[in-house]
Amino acid sequence: MTDRRRTDPLTGEVIEDPPIRPFADWLREQANGKTHNELGEALWDLIARVEETRKKGTLALTITVEPMPKSDGNVLVISDNIQLKLPEFKRDASVAYVDRNGNLSRNNPRQPTLTGLRDASAPESTTIREAQ
């Protein structure tokens, strides 16, 4: 990593390579732990959906840091945004025709409708006699 230097705002002391707090420690405290919990749930949901669909998905955390308005500079507002993009299941397509009114129809409006048709299948109560 790079060399880091910080000047203590109270004493003016220059601190070379100050110890850096682990990110996970901060994350557990962000929004009273809500961000940490939501990320855990989102990751679980993402893993489950990837296993089901065999497609990739993404989970992104965006952290915004800005100075607190009307503060002396050492008060910061930290906000976060979690974006979860689950892979989609394959959806079946269907075929439809456009009728003369511009509506979708399952029937082809250019094909004539046959009338007078009846079901010629044998009734269920009919039995076949065995040859004697």
Q: What is the pLDDT tens value at each position of the chain, 132 positions in all? A: 578 999 988 899 999 999 999 999 999 999 999 999 999 999 999 999 999 999 999 999 999 999 998 887 789 999 999 999 999 999 899 999 999 899 999 999 888 888 888 888 867 665 566 665
Task: Say what the pTM is.
Answer: 0.66
- Contact present, 61 and 81 (Cβ < 8 Å): yes
What are residue 16's DSSP bridge partners?
5
Separation of alpha carbons 95 and 100, rounded Å: 17
Separation of alpha carbons 84 and 56, rounded Å: 12
Q: What is the pLDDT of residue 1?
A: 59
**Three-state secondary structure readout of 1-66:** CCCCEEECCCCCCEEECCCCCCHHHHHHHHHHHHHHHHHHHHHHHHHHHHHHHCCCCEEEEEEEEE
Give the residue among 64, 69, 72, 67 at the shortest CA–CA distance from 30.
64
Please list, in sequence order, all residues whose beta carbon lies within 8 angstroms of the beta carbon of residue 59, skipping any fewer than 6 positions away: 39, 42, 43, 46, 82, 83, 84, 85
Q: What is the pLDDT of residue 115?
A: 84
- Stated length of the chain: 132
Burial of 35 (0-12, 13-18, 19+ CB in 10 A): buried
- Contact present, 85 and 91 (Cβ < 8 Å): no
